Amino acid sequence: MTQPNVRVVLTPSFAPYKVVILSLIAAYCAGVLPKKTHRPLLATIVKYIEGPQSLVDTDNGGASANPPSLDGIIASIRQTCLQTDPEEGVNYADDIEKRLLHALWSLKSVDSLHAFVDRSKSLLVNNYRHGREIIEKLSSSSLPDYLLTRSSFLGQFVTQCVASFYSGEFGDIELVWNSFVTFRGASKSEWAKKYSKRIPDISDTFGSTENTDDFSVFAKALQSLPFENEETKEEYRLISKEDLEKLVNHQIHLLENYGAITSTELRQTLKLMTQSEASRVPSIYYIEYLECLNEANYEGAFNALHRYFDYMMSNRQTIFYHYALLCLATLHASFNCDSEAIRAIEESIDVARENNDSSCLHFLLSWLYNFMKDRPNLKHDFYVSADQLLQYLKANATDAPSFSYSTAYQSETTQIMLEGGSINSALESLTKSAYLSLTENDNATSFTSHCALASSLWFRTGNFDLAKVYSDIPVGLSASVSQKVFLNIRKAYFEFDNNNIDEAFKILDDQKPFAAVDIRLQKDLVGHKLLLLTEQCIRSSRYKMGELYLSRLLSQDHTDIDITGQTHYLEILLELKKGNAHKAYKKVSHHLSTFAKKPNNKYWFITFTLLNCQILCEGPVPTRALSIVIKCLQSSLRSGFTILLLRGVKILCQILQHLDQDQDVYNILLDCAPFFEQVPNHEIGLKSHQLLAKSLIALYDGNNLLKQQRIDQITLIISHIERSIDGFKKMSMFEEVKRSLELQVTLGKKINHEDLIKHAEKSLQTADERIIQEMAVQD
Amino acid sequence: MNEINQLRSHLRSSISTLSSLKLYQAAKWSAEALNGMKIDDDEESDVDLIQDEETTPIPTIYQIRLNSKDHDQFELAKTYFDCKEFDRCYTILKNSTNSNCIFLKLYSLLISGDLKREQESEGALGSNDLNSSNKSIPIILKEIESLFNKDKSYKKNPFINYLYGITLLKQKSTSLAQDALITSLKQFPFNWSCWLELIHSISNIDEALNIFQNLESFFHQSFPNSTKFSELIMIKLGKLNCLQEFFQQTPELYNQLNELLEIFPIFSFIKIQKALISYHALEYTECELIFDDILTNDPLRLDDMDLYSNILYVMQKRSKLSYLAQLACSIDKFRPETCCIVANYYSLKFEHEKAIMYYRRALVLNRNCLSAWTLMGHEFVELKNTHAAIESYRRAVDTNQKDFKAWYGLGQAYEILDMHLYSLYYYQKACYLKPLDSRIWQALGNCYDKLSKFKDSIKCYKKSLFLNNNSEISKDVTILFRIAKIFENLNELSNCYEFMKQVLNEELENNQKNDLTSQARLWLAKYEQNLGNWENAYFYAMDMNSGTSQEIEEAKMIAREAKNKMNGITR
């Protein structure tokens, strides 16, 4: 048999499933069901009246919402019955199901459906007094247990159903009937199997409520219509516009926040809708837009977005134009079409200003700030400085939605961090943002983004523990998938720096299923993984492999400034490790000149400056780097970039060692020891031990020391050397292991300790072998 | 059998002629009639018209003949007409002298004028509806009259006469129109549209009978030696429809119906006439069965199905009516019949606003939809919008002056407004159309009563009672009581006593206890009390157990007094 053609028809409010809910309400009011069934029954009724928000479990990552089905309703009743009473629940559920099916299959014609709605209407009373009057008039046999006031929760639903049913023309009622017949068809076999002596047939569609009437003539007449035969017959699926809008909006929420895949059923409904009446629910195209965006389908997203707003325009007014442009800008930004995004946002701002839509303008500027911060090199003439923009955002946040205030302070914090402002100012803004996001009783979105920002700040300042705490907070909240993935990427970095390499990569691998729904997110995830892999290769001297990873990274176009910054950093570092100091120097100079033009990212500017210092330090005249390093140290200290500070200290010490200022090096390292210990970045900590050992060896003068002092000094040096060797070994940094072993040889020679020299030389040999092995692995 | 073949042949020929002249409805009717005829074995084996004519020479009916130049133009004009380019059709035939071409030219002008009128009036119920008219009518009339004056041969064309008739009808020149239509029918009796227009123009049964008499004698005299079977059958069909419309229930009508059913056993039109005759005779079940049969044989027929819905409405068959509405909607939502069916359904569901909406829709689709105006009037009455009801009824009687329901409705509406003299006029109109309807006589009696014309009122009430008796329904207590009260007002107490007794008898015989019978009982008790007939007074007062408390108390007092009197106790 061929599948009937399905035609989706939109009604303002009525839908076949509402007949089921009305039947349940009628059964409840009539008091035909045992009292114990009332709780589960009402729970189900309320759930379906409240709509899709209550029908899906958002905890599981946002299951897609579907239009209610008869099976679904029955299953829901069964579930709530079992929850209420695990023992008797099955019997209650059976009882309700039987009565429900009986009520549904008793409706045999348009007229009986009409009469059913009439009866539902009779359950309504205007107020309590009206109810009393009715009860007094009716005889006890025809009196229902409950009547519903129009303002009650159930009363409102019944009123709405009745009103929408009566407002329809005959054709609409006929459609309701036809779709209801299709809708209840799912329960046909169940009804026949369990409760009825005969299987419902054609006479149930053309059945009679008046026993003497014969409707076969109408049935035959209808069948003789050319579009009523089995092959061409259309099956109607009636969906209320109200419900569909709720469903679609819910789906949009799911897509935006969780990237949940649209269910097959809803997708089919939407597909059928697009064939006929999509203009009545344009949000369908917004779903398509979001889906295309997640699939990185630029053309599809572009077309769907345009189609969405075209229908929105016809539905409402031109006031939506700037929102349309904002979405367009977001679309372009998502595909890195920066100039198009700028053009769209420019027009959007103009229109918002023209319409005096300050709320939207605020949002637009906030969006613009976030867009521009990742693209410091993009030319624009929106504002003179980011500060000015932030001042505006803060000053006008009262006109905007409640979360805007908090967002404005978050943007300020970001700006302070980017510009390398004082840590105190950054913390002040961040605290304000936290206060606002917690007190404004808004949704968790702004608080989640606050936590992400705080985590990022503490990560930069080297307080990994606090950063971890802030990363963990949003996991418990209903943060969006992208936010959760980014927080977990940060966690992976903590683990990597802590030398828990396997754990770091495991975390990244765990994010794959979440990122799968959004190709852009997937790209970022892959980018971060490649960065860690590259860094790992550089540490373990697998330069070729590192190069390979780097080439993959460089071939990708990332807008995230951290990914691009880190990529270039590793690229230069690799050159340096390979001994191409000149090449590294050229590259670092290039990046520094770029940052010098738009010095709005202090962190990366200092990072590259320190890298430059390191190159200079390894060159013939290390002292050239001295003044630069000191400047970097000052900047890092002010901005609270502890890791950069310690990197600077490391380079400073190296320079001073070249100048034979070992006492100074020793003093500096001693002063900085708590910082080195605090920072869980193993590499820097180990390096400090190495440098300390080198200075101590240089300062060692056995002749002027007593025997015990000599022993103590040597033991201290060896312990520093050994800690560094052990640590670097664990990190597979054999080049650094070699350096530490060389120090051991130097020490052995200085104290004339043959065994120590021999042991160190042997270890050096082993280290060389390991390096060769590592080099071989990558081939 | 030759006569039947002749009829068949004429119908076939008429289909082609009417179709060529774009008289689609008439052509459809002829085709249905042809296919509704008894299937003859000989005919079944050979439907070849030429061969048929060879074997049995049949007198020819009017056929279109054109010379080659006219033919080409005529064909072109026909295609324009089919494409609904009426003005173009008119223009292409503007200078043609052929009578058929002239008919098509003027007919397309008439339709074009109607279309323009619809556009101007913004629909049948639009704001300019009453101010707009078909501007082409004077042009058509002028042209036809000048043609007739110029060349008498044009008078021989039945279709020009038909067109002349319908334009005259639109000008309200009924008598002239009837002449033209009768002339047309004499020349070509197979144009059913012409019959309908003629029947529509007839205002009373005597006039109708005269016209049919006239037509019959014309055919008898004109063709004394030849067979005129087909023509006479057409007259019979027309007469059947006409008598049905005038609510006739004569044995002659039934005979004619059966005779026609012999010839056209499966012709839906005749079945519908039969159903309507049963409907007027209040035989609803019979009527329902006939319509079911029509639907079985012609399942997708919508013509006249609004009448079926009226029957189901009267029978209060909601479910069946809902199915009929479903079926009609599935066939064509935008047919006036469908709208009327759905409106009837809503009326039965007491959703009067929706019913009005659908009646309005029916009227937008066809401003001549006869029943919609009347039924809409009923809905307005239900909604207590009497003024709107009056307008609807007025439009109904303007469209079809034979619609007794509309006249009756007008009477009722004015009665609600306490304008009894007006009301009387409309009831009289209704009564003239349907003199055997007891409801109308009762309404008339009530009107006379209100106008203090008691004698007339009594006559009307008595007539109503008489008709009720004929229909074997128990006597209407209300009428009896009203008559009694009028006699009381006239101080004719003995007459009043008679009728009060009749009221009480209804209670005793048919166990119809109500306020009126109680009042009658009390009145009788008092009457006997005054006459000192204590036994009778006691008899009437004793069983008084319904009515107001005051009445019951009064009856008890009479009973007590009567009992005392009977027991010889004086106060």
DSSP B121-179: HTSTTSTTTTT---THHHHHHHHHHHHHHH-GGGGG-HHHHHHHHHHHHHTT-HHHHHH
What mean pLDDT comes out for the span A98-116?
A: 85
For residues B201-213, give the mean pLDDT.
90
Interface of B with A (CB under 8 A): 292, 295-296, 299-300, 317-327, 329-331, 333, 342, 345-346, 349, 351, 354, 357-358
The nearest CA of chain A is from the CA of B120 a distance in Å of: 28
**pLDDT band at residue B311 under the 50/70/90 scheme:** very high
pLDDT score of A778 more than 50: yes
Q: What is the mean pLDDT of chain A?
A: 79
Q: Give percent of chain A with pLDDT exceeding 90.
A: 1
Could you tell me whether strands A5-11 and A234-240 are parallel, antiparallel, or unpaired per DSSP bridges? parallel
User: Does residue A621 sit in the same domain as residue A728?
Assistant: no
Q: CB distance B296–A217 less than 8 Å?
A: yes
Clarify whether residues A119 and A154 are in a common domain.
Answer: yes
Q: What is the mean pLDDT of residues A490-497?
A: 84
State the pLDDT confidence band at B33, using cuts at 50, 70 and 90.
very high
Please give, one letter per residue, the 3-state secondary structure of A299-310. HHHHHHHHHHHH
- pLDDT at res. A252: 67
Q: Which of B317, B320, B347 to mutate to test the interface with A (most CBs of A within 10 A)?
A: B320
Closest residue on chain A to B340 (Cα) = A170
High-pLDDT (> 90) share of chain B, % = 41
pTM beyond 0.80: the answer is: no
Among the ranges A476-490, A554-568, B186-200, B416-430, which has the highest mean pLDDT value? Answer: B186-200
Are residues A704 and A632 part of one domain? no
Report, in angstroms and rounded to the nearest whole number, the Rg of chain B calculated over CA atoms: 30
CA A369, CA A390: separation in Å to the nearest integer? 8
Is the pLDDT score of B41 beyond 60? no
Cβ distance of B346 and A111 shorter than 8 Å? no
d(CA A392, CA A382) in angstroms, rounded, equals 13
pLDDT band at residue B53, thresholds of 50, 70 and 90?
very low
Residue A58's pLDDT band (cuts 50, 70, 90): very low
- Helix (DSSP H) and strand (DSSP E) numbers for chain A: 39, 4
Q: DSSP assignment, residue A236?
A: E
Which residues in chain B are closer than 8 Å to A218, comparing Cβ atoms? Answer: 295, 323-324, 326-327
Q: Which domain holds residue A682?
A: 661-779
Sole residue written with tokens 């029955």? A74
Mutate to test the interface with A, among B293, B330, B347 (most CBs of A within 10 A): B330
Asked if the model's pLDDT at residue A725 lies above 80, the reply is yes
Determine the residue of chain B that is closest to A118 in CA distance: B349
pLDDT per residue over A693-711, tens digit each?
Answer: 888 888 887 677 777 888 8
User: How large is the ipTM?
Assistant: 0.71
Residue B58 in this model has a pLDDT that exceeds 60: no
In single-letter form, the type of residue at position B194 comes to: C
Of A718, A421, B260, the residue nearest B252 (C-alpha): B260
**Residue A149 distance to chain B (closest CA, Å):** 23
Which of A167, A218, A227, A234 should we substitute to test contact with B (largest number of B Cβ atoms within 10 Å)? Answer: A218
Q: Is A69 in the same domain as A200?
A: yes
Does the beta-carbon distance from B325 to A170 stay under 8 Å?
Answer: yes
Q: What is the pLDDT of residue A726?
A: 87
With bands split at pLDDT 50, 70 and 90, how would you rate the model's confidence at B212? very high
Residues of chain B with pLDDT > 70: what percent?
91
pLDDT band of B470, cuts 50, 70, 90:
low
pLDDT of residue B125: 63
Q: Are residues A655 and A666 in the same domain?
A: no
User: Per the domain annotation, does A511 fall within a domain?
Assistant: no
Task: Verify whether the Cβ–Cβ distance A170 to B346 is below 8 Å.
Answer: yes
Q: What is the DSSP letter of A124?
A: E
The whole-number pLDDT of residue A466 equals 85
Gap between the terminal Cα atoms of chain A: 62
pLDDT over threshold 50, residue B461: yes
Same structural domain, A162 and A96: yes
- Asked whether residue A631 falls in the same domain as residue A688, the answer is no
Among candidates A73, A76, A75, A86, which has minimal Cα distance to A36?
Answer: A86
Q: Specify whether A76 is located in the same domain as A176.
A: yes
Question: Is residue B460 classed as helix, strand or coil in its secondary structure?
Answer: helix
Q: How confident is the model at residue B27 (pLDDT cuts 50, 70, 90)?
A: very high
Measured in angstroms, the CA of B361 and the nearest CA of chain A are apart by 12
Closest residue on chain A to B352 (Cα): A166
For residue A777, tell me if it sits in a domain.
Answer: yes
For chain B, give the longest Cα–Cα distance.
112
Does residue A735 belong to any structural domain of this protein? yes
Q: What number is the average pLDDT over the span B327-337?
A: 91
Using DSSP, state whether A235 is helix, strand or coil: strand
Domains of chain B: 475-571 (1.25.40)
For chain A, the C-alpha Rg in angstroms (whole number) is 36
Task: Examine the domain organization and report whether A630 and A654 are in the same domain.
Answer: yes
- Tell me the helix, strand and coil percentages in chain B, rounded to 5: 75, 0, 25
What are B285-289's contacts with CB under 8 Å, separation 24+?
B285/B315, B287/B311, B288/B312, B288/B315, B288/B317
Confidence bin at B197 (pLDDT 50/70/90)? very high
DSSP run (H or E) holding A9: strand A5-11
Q: Is pLDDT at B300 greater than 80 in this prediction?
A: yes
Out of A659, A691, A711, a domain closes at A659
Q: What is the pLDDT of residue A209?
A: 47
- Report pLDDT for A74: 86
List the structure tokens of A140: 């006890």
- Dist CA A463 CA A455 (whole Å): 9
Q: Do B325 and A110 touch (CB under 8 A)?
A: yes
- The pLDDT score that the predictor gives to residue B55 is 45
pLDDT grade for B225, boundaries at 50, 70 and 90 = low
Structure tokens at A129: 């007094």
**pLDDT per residue over A763-776, tens digit each?**
888 888 888 887 77
One domain for residues A697 and A651: no
Q: How does the average pLDDT of chain B come out, rounded?
A: 86
Residue A468: both structure tokens together: 């971890």
Contact B260, B270 (CB under 8 A): yes
- Beta bridge partners of residue A239, listed in sequence order: A10
Has residue B215 got a pLDDT over 70? yes
Q: Between A and B, how many CB-CB pairs are < 8 A? A: 71
Instruction: Please report, to the nearest 10 degrees, the dihedral formed by the alpha carbons of residues B424, B429, B432, B437 taken in order.
Output: -70
Residue-level pLDDT at B465? 84
Nearest CA in chain B to A226: B331
Nearest to residue B61, comparing CAs of B212, B226, B236, B224? B226
Residue A409 falls within a domain, yes or no?
Answer: no
Residue A148, in any domain of the structure:
yes
Return the HEC string of B291-360. Answer: HHHHHHHCCCCCCCHHHHHHHHHHCCCHHHHHHHHHHHHHHCCCCHHHHHHHHHHHHHCCCHHHHHHHHH
Nearest to A270 by CA among A245, A301, A306: A245
> What are the angstrom distances between the C-alpha of A523 and each of A512, A520, A614, A654?
10, 5, 31, 38
> Does the beta-carbon distance from B300 to A221 stay under 8 Å?
yes
In this structure, is residue A298 part of a structural domain?
no
Q: Which residue of chain A is at minimal alpha-carbon distance from B324?
A: A218
Rounded to whole angstroms, what are the CA distances from A70 to A49, A185, A249, B245, B500? 14, 9, 23, 53, 64
Which residues touch B498 (CB under 8 Å, ≥6 apart)? B484
pLDDT-wise least confident of A161-170, A219-228, A644-653, B357-366: A219-228
Indicate yes or no: CB of B331 within 8 angstroms of CB of A225. Answer: yes
CA distance B542 to chain A (A): 32
Q: CATH number of the domain that A689 lies in?
A: 1.25.40
Average pLDDT over residues A102-126: 86
Three-class secondary structure of residue A773 per DSSP: helix
Report pLDDT digits (tens) over B135-159. 899 999 999 999 999 888 888 899 9
Closest to A210 (Cβ–Cβ): which among B317, B333, B346?
B317
Strands A124-125 and A234-240: unpaired
What's the confidence (pLDDT) of residue A183?
84
Residue at A734 is within a domain: yes
Round to whole Å and give the CA distance between A397 and B149: 91
Q: Which residue has the higher pLDDT, A362 or B430?
A: B430
Report the pLDDT value the prediction gives residue B239, as an integer from 0 to 100.
Answer: 93
Question: And the tokens for A577?
Answer: 């490790």
Nearest CA in chain A to B327: A222
Asked which of A574-583, A632-641, B44-53, B162-171 is least confident by mean pLDDT, the reply is B44-53
B319 → closest Cβ in A169, A208, A224: A208
Residue of B nearest to A171 (CA): B329
Q: Is the same domain home to A162 and A30?
A: yes
Distance in Å from the first CA to the final CA of chain B: 93
Query: Could you read off the pLDDT of A367-407 as tens digits, one per residue?
Result: 888 787 777 667 766 666 777 777 777 777 766 666 677 77
Q: Which residues of A1-23 are buried (b: 16+ CB within 10 A; e: fewer)?
A: eeeeeebbbbbebbbbbbbbbbb
Q: How many structural domains does chain A have? A: 3
- B78-115 pLDDT, tens digit per residue, is 999 999 999 999 999 988 888 899 999 999 999 999 88
Strands A148-149 and A124-125: parallel
Q: What is the pLDDT of residues B157-182, one digit of tens each?
A: 999 999 999 999 988 889 999 999 99
| A497-532 confidence digits (pLDDT tens) | 888 888 889 988 888 887 777 777 888 888 899 999
Structure tokens at A209: 């409520």
pLDDT digits (tens, 9 = 90+) for A172-208: 888 888 888 888 887 777 777 766 655 544 444 444 4
Q: Tell which wins on pLDDT, B479 or A213.
A: B479
Q: Tell me the chain B residues in contact with residue A224 when contact means C-beta distances shorter than 8 Å.
A: 299-300
Q: What is the pLDDT of residues A400-453, one digit of tens each?
A: 666 677 778 888 888 888 777 888 888 898 888 888 888 765 556 677 788 888
Q: What does the alpha-carbon distance between residue B465 and residue B159 come to, in Å, rounded to a whole number?
A: 49
Least confident residue range of A238-242, A411-415, B401-405, B555-559: A238-242
pLDDT of residue B54: 44
pLDDT at position A234: 66
For residue B322, give how far its alpha carbon lies from the nearest alpha carbon of chain A (Å). Answer: 6
pLDDT at B355: 94
- Give the residue-averaged pLDDT of A715-733: 86
Shortest CA gap A234–chain B (Å): 12
A269-322: per-residue pLDDT in tens? 666 655 555 556 677 777 788 888 778 788 888 888 888 777 776 655 555 677
Here the tokens at position B292 are 């079911």
What is the mean pLDDT of the segment spanning B475-483?
Answer: 82
> What's residue B165's pLDDT?
95
User: What is the C-alpha separation between B50 and B30, in angstroms, rounded?
Assistant: 19
Residue A772 lies in a domain: yes
Of A211, A236, A257, the last residue of a domain is A211
Between strands A5-11 and A124-125, the pairing is unpaired
Residue in the block written with tokens 């007229």: A111
Residue A620 CB neighbour total at 10 angstroms? 7
**Euclidean distance between CA atoms A670 and B48, whole angstroms:** 124
Write the pLDDT tens digit of every residue in A538-553.
888 888 888 888 888 8
Of A109, A171, A225, nearest to B323 by CB-CB distance is: A109
| Gap between the Cα atoms of A194 and A199, Å rounded | 11
Domain final residue, candidates A178, A196, A211:
A211
pLDDT at A2: 44
Burial of B109 (C-beta count, 10 Å sphere; 0-12/13-18/19+): buried
Tokens of A477: 């909240």
Domain co-membership, A612 together with A633: yes
Q: β-strands A234-240, A148-149: how paired?
A: unpaired
Can you give the length of chain B in residues? 571
